[in-house]
């Protein structure tokens, strides 16, 4: 099969492209390069520059490369920005998906993997187990989360109507890198935010320490980006052998919670810094605990995460130091 990977020059996208090609799959990258970096695309993998809102260019690329499957990662993903610019997020994430699906169906593409997010759950009630399952009610707290949930609905409905084989992958907190040059260049998630503070000689911030958790700070499930990319390969191959109209919804996480304080301490230890975090006010809408149940993906795909949180921090730090050499400790 030939897989078109939208957003394939981005942080997660580049890892998915790498995993696909290393597994022997044919890949084509489609990216508008607004945040993606062309140099991340491996030699021999075609790069088409364009927006998912451009149906004409999409149709041309799908036809030119005889694409049989799509992994859709392109989109806007900053929660805070989505609150400030909801119309922009709905346009980019939902209308862009609609245009892409229209081109996909017209071109006769057989399989479609959608990049969703644990943000669809909002502030979940995980029950006695403390784990969020795929059946946990979805009540997103931000326009970003709403666009991901609406995207899942749109993907599933299109599959039912047309026979397109579909999957929606709900990512938990992604970190780490396969190589320093593929590391995340943004500072929007906890790990790079702590890196940035330490590099500036400032204490990492913990937003609230009075949650109903063992140390009072929020607990999250972290997944190494390499494990995440390999989950895409497993999903793509599962869809390729499935009957028309098949649909999967899967959490991508390790099923293990790590508190913000534990993560800050691990980052200090790994990087060689010794700047204790400071506690500031809670951020509105932060749930106390969001940890995935990873049982369904293990059953459906036989997939299990291979890397732990220390691996994530170590590899992410190598990428950070590559971009910020002044951060390295002697």
Annotated catalytic sites, by residue? 144
Strands 257-259 and 219-224: antiparallel
Structure tokens at 275: 């700047």
Q: How far apart are CA 288 and CA 124, in angstroms?
A: 9
Q: Identify the DSSP state of 94.
A: I
Helix %, strand %, coil % of the chain (to 5): 45, 20, 40
Q: How far apart are CA 32 and CA 25, in angstroms?
A: 23
The stretches of the chain forming alpha helices (DSSP H) are 11-22, 55-64, 79-84, 86-89, 96-107, 143-162, 190-199, 225-240, 260-271, 295-301, 309-323
Structure tokens at 64: 């030119």
Q: How far is CA 227 from the centre of its chain?
A: 11
Q: How far apart are CA 227 and CA 311, in angstroms?
A: 11
| CA-based nearest residue to 170, from 248, 99, 224 | 248
Grouping H, G, I as helix, E, B as strand and the rest as coil, residue 39 is helix
Q: CB-based contacts of 187: which residues, under 8 Å, 6+ apart?
A: 193, 195, 196
Q: How far apart are CA 290 and CA 220, in angstroms?
A: 5
């Amino acid at each position: 099969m030939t897989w078109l990977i939208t957003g394939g020059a981005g942080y997660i996208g580049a890892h998915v492209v790498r995993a696909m090609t290393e597994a022997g799959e044919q890949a084509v990258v489609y990216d508008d390069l607004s945040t993606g970096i062309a140099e991340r695309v491996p030699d021999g993998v075609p790069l088409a520059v364009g927006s998912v809102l451009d149906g004409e260019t999409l149709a041309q690329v799908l036809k030119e490369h005889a694409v049989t499957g799509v992994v859709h990662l392109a989109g806007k993903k900053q929660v805070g920005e989505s609150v400030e610019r909801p119309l922009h997020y709905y346009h980019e994430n939902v209308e862009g998906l609609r245009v892409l699906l229209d081109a996909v169906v017209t071109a006769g593409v057989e399989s479609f993997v959608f990049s969703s997010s644990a943000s669809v759950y909002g502030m979940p009630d995980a029950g006695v187990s403390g784990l969020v399952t795929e059946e946990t009610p979805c009540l997103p707290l931000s326009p970003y989360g709403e666009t991901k949930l609406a995207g899942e609905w749109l993907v599933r409905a299109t599959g039912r109507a047309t026979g397109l084989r579909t999957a929606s992958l709900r990512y938990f907190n992604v970190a780490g890198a396969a190589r320093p040059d593929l590391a995340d260049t943004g500072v929007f998630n906890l790990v790079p935010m702590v890196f940035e503070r330490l590099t500036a000689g400032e204490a990492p911030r913990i937003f609230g320490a009075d949650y109903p958790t063992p140390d009072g700070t929020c607990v999250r499930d972290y997944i190494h980006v390499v494990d995440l990319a390999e989950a895409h390969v497993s999903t793509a191959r599962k869809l390729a052998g499935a009957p028309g109209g098949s649909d999967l919804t899967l959490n991508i996480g390790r099923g293990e919670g790590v508190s913000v304080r534990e993560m800050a301490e691990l980052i200090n230890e790994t990087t060689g810094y010794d700047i204790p975090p400071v506690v500031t006010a809670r951020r509105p809408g932060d749930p106390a605990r969001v940890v995935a149940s990873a049982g369904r993906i293990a059953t459906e795909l036989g997939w299990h995460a291979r890397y732990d949180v220390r691996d994530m921090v170590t590899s992410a730090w190598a990428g950070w130091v590559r971009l910020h050499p002044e951060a390295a400790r002697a």
